[in-house]
Structure 1
């Protein structure tokens, strides 16, 4: 089991800074995913920045606005935790 995500900060350049409960911080670049059909809603920068959430201990974007896990775009927490840690002392 991976540490839970405790904070997510979306950035203007389609990256997301993710903070885990164990203190690890990572930067995830979703720009390469935006051409895939399931990620199309994230092309709307306003949606990308404002609809993110943490559901089931991972990063997700709430498509319906009601935290229904069946209507979210989420990223595998193993994928996120496997990223190289960044030095982010603003957390």
Structure 2
């Protein structure tokens, strides 16, 4: 199975829609994650929203701003694929 993430869409309630290469869309709720360790810096909603991206073929936050895959916070794509619920395409305006 190919667990490659091709797009992510963060929301203002600390969730992220994750688009996988096989066409599935999963919804990751980051509320628990941002309470732990290095992920606490994502409690600032602007940082959460503005640094959320795809790096290392998975959901990541590019805190350094230089898209260096070795300097990001990322989550194992297999974990995301297997543990996040599958959802329909969101009907949200991206701003």
CA contact (8 A) 2:58 2:77 kept: yes
2:52 is equivalent to residue 23 of structure 1: no
Deviation at 1:89, TM superposition (A): 6.5
- List, as ranges, runs of 4+ consecutive aligned residues in structure 1 with deviation greater than 4 Å: none
Q: What SS does the corresponding residue of 1:49 show, helix, strand or coil?
A: helix
Matched residues in 1 for 2:47 and 2:29: separation? 16
Deviation at 1:74, TM superposition (A): 0.3
Aligned length, in residue pairs: 90
CA contact (8 A) 1:2 1:81 kept: no
CA contact (8 A) 1:12 1:49 kept: yes
CA contact (8 A) 1:2 1:77 kept: no
CA contact (8 A) 1:18 1:26 kept: yes
Task: Flag structure 1 segments of 5+ consecutive residues without an equivalent.
Answer: none
2:89 matched to which residue of 1? 88
Task: Flag structure 2 segments of 5+ consecutive residues without an equivalent.
Answer: none
Q: How does 1:2-13 map to 2 (within 5 A)?
A: 2-13=2-13
After TM superposition, the structure 1 stretch with the greater mean CA deviation from structure 2, 62-71 or 28-37, is: 62-71
Matched residues in 1 for 2:2 and 2:42: separation? 25
Give the TM-score normalised by the residue count of structure 2. Answer: 0.85
CA, structure 1 residues 17+50, in 2 after alignment: closer, same or farther (shift >3 Å)?
Answer: same
Matched residues in 2 for 1:20 and 1:27: separation? 11
Give the TM-score normalised by the residue count of structure 1. Answer: 0.89
